């Protein structure tokens, strides 16, 4: 395996579901420890790493609003869920001796630093992992959009979207046996074929700012490491 990193600064997007293991809700110690271990492998390559973690394992705004809640209140709950996940991941990374800071888009100074772009970059330069919590800080957005936004802000060269599936398929692989996975695909094709990679806000922001995205399976050990060292893992999306 090639051990030379292809990138210097990357952002890893983890869905909240990645932390829940097979219990269907919340955070399992085994899973968060596994995720921290996968991040540790990339960290030891010398890469500057920022992370955005979702909140879907705890609460999604859409679920709240379809149950009758005000959408903004529900999204605020979703953003707070991402803070819980971020604090858990910070703890797990520190157990792997990785210096980590959490920066929140919603101020809560007792539990996390506020998001300050230059400070985040400074942390990265000093070899600290930075976890961006509370999404964009605004309702009606997703943590995928937060990932693209923050990646642009800190000038990450690529986003690794670590998911439950191997990559991007032409149709749902869990429904269709003949689904074919793309190794590479352009953002324009993703839009034309209406592939469910990220929401449109996130896709258009990444496309407009020429930010590549690599979708890979988190549950296969070493996948993020392989992607970081230039391995052909999952699906690369580019302009
Ligand atoms: N959210 C939000 N604004 C943001 C990011 C997230 O309101 O900028 C809320 C939204 O309700 C979302 C929830 O936080 O459903 C959790 O984020 P997401 O669904 O993106 O998490 P994931 O699917 O990655 O676990």
pLDDT digits (tens, 9 = 90+) for 147-185: 999 999 999 999 999 999 999 999 988 899 999 999 999
- pLDDT class for 2, splitting at 50, 70, 90? low
Is 167's C-beta closer than 6 angstroms to any atom of ligand 1? Answer: no
Strands across the sheet with 184-186, in order? 113-114, 100-104, 129-133, 48-53, 9-14, 158-163, 213-217, 235-238, 184-186
Would the pTM count as exceeding 0.90?
yes
Query: Which tokens go with 193?
Result: 């074929």
- pLDDT class for 207, splitting at 50, 70, 90? very high
- pLDDT class for 44, splitting at 50, 70, 90? very high
Ligand 1: centre distance to CA 77 (Å): 9
3-class state of residue 64 by DSSP: helix
Residue 131 scores a pLDDT above 80 = yes
| Mean pLDDT across 60-81 | 97
Q: State which ligand 1 atom lies nearest to the alpha carbon of 140.
A: 7
| Mean pLDDT across 22-36 | 95
Is 22 a known ligand-binding residue?
no
Tell me the average pLDDT of the chain.
96
Is 64's C-beta closer than 6 angstroms to any atom of ligand 1? Answer: no
Neighbouring residues of 142: CB distance < 8 A, sequence distance ≥ 6: 54, 135, 198, 199, 201, 202
Is 138 a known ligand-binding residue?
yes
| Mean pLDDT across 31-50 | 97
Residue 205 scores a pLDDT above 70 = yes
Which of 135, 150, 160 gets mutated to test ligand 1 (max ligand atoms within 8 A of its CB)? 135
Query: Which tokens go with 150?
Result: 């923050």
| Mean pLDDT across 105-119 | 98
Residue 202 scores a pLDDT above 80 = yes
Domains identified in the chain and CATH numbers: 9-238 (3.40.1160.10)
Is 138's C-beta closer than 6 angstroms to any atom of ligand 1? Answer: yes
| Mean pLDDT across 114-134 | 98
Helix axes 143-154, 200-208, angle to 10 degrees: 20
Ligand 1: centre distance to CA 25 (Å): 15
Which residue spans within the chain are E strands per DSSP? 9-14, 48-53, 100-104, 113-114, 129-133, 158-163, 184-186, 213-217, 235-238
How confident is the model at residue 5, as a pLDDT?
Answer: 85
Question: What's the rounded Cα separation, in Å, for the pair 56 and 126?
Answer: 31
Ligand 1: centre distance to CA 226 (Å): 28
- pLDDT class for 20, splitting at 50, 70, 90? very high
How confident is the model at residue 201, as a pLDDT?
Answer: 97
Q: State which ligand 1 atom lies nearest to the alpha carbon of 63.
A: 15
């Amino acid at each position: 395996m090639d051990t030379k990193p292809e990138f210097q600064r990357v952002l890893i997007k983890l869905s909240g579901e990645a932390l829940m293991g097979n219990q269907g809700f919340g955070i399992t110690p085994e899973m968060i420890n596994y995720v921290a271990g996968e991040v540790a492998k990339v960290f030891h390559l010398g890469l500057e790493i920022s992370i955005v973690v979702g909140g879907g394992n705890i609460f999604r705004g859409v679920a709240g609003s379809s149950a009758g809640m005000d959408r903004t209140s529900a999204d605020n709950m979703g953003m707070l869920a991402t803070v819980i996940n971020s604090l858990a991941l910070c703890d797990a990374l520190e157990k792997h001796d990785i210096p980590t800071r959490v920066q929140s888009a919603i101020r809560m100074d007792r539990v996390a630093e506020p998001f300050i772009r230059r400070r985040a970059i400074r942390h990265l330069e000093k070899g600290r992992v930075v976890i961006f919590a509370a999404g964009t800080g605004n309702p009606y957005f997703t943590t995928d959009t937060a990932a693209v936004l923050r990646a642009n802000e800190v000038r990450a060269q690529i986003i690794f979207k670590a998911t439950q599936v191997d990559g991007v398929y032409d149709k749902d692989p869990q429904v269709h046996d003949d689904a074919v996975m793309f190794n590479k695909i352009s953002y324009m094709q993703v839009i034309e074929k209406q592939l469910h990679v990220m929401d449109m806000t996130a896709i258009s922001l990444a496309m407009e700012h020429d930010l590549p995205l690599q979708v890979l399976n988190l549950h296969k050990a070493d996948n993020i490491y392989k992607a970081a060292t230039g391995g052909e893992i999952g699906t690369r999306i580019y302009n």
